[in-house]
Amino acid sequence: MENGLINVADPKNKESRKAFMTNTVKDMLVQRIPETPDEYVFKDKKHGGKIMEVSQAFQRAVDQLGFNKGVNDPRQKLTFHSLRHTFASWLALQGETLQVIAELLGHKTIEMTMRYAHLIPDHKRRAVLRLESTHMQRNDQQS
């Protein structure tokens, strides 16, 4: 809690990593601090152990809100995993680098992250304009 980090242990790619907490997440987790270090923060409701799958709460909310109503293509349906894509897309839209997005998502290769590259606003234009600006400053200093 002091460092604002969450240890992501045993993720899909098998490489544990650290995730940064927002203030909202930190406030929520403070309310759930377990009594012992080996106790889970979020527990399986039936057994009190490790959660092995996402509960049906997310799917019930999606159904009640009608997000997938009339959507027949499974690739277009809102799923729990869509939240991960939204996170990455929002990072790209605010101009984060692909390297930062890859690290936050835990991608082993940048190729996995390239699907978000088209969302990064004007990054190529900004790069060229920075180059021009730097070049113009050097010319002004030499004059």
Read off the CATH number of the domain in which 137 is found: 1.10.443.10
Residues 30, 80, single domain; the answer is: no
86-126, pLDDT tens digit by residue?
A: 999 999 989 899 999 999 998 989 999 999 988 887 777 77
C-alpha to C-alpha distance for 30 and 28, rounded to whole angstroms: 6
Is 30 part of any domain?
yes
Q: Which domain holds residue 77?
A: 72-143
Tokens of 28: 């929520």
E strands, the chain, in order: 5-8, 17-20
pLDDT at residue 69, as a whole number: 96
Query: Is 19 strand, coil or helix?
Result: strand
Instruction: Report the chain's mean pLDDT, rounded to a whole number.
Output: 88
Do 31 and 97 have their domain in common? Answer: no
Provide the 3-class DSSP secondary structure of residue 6.
strand
> Largest alpha-carbon pair distance within the chain?
76
The rounded distance, in Å, linking the Cα atoms of 73 and 75 is: 5
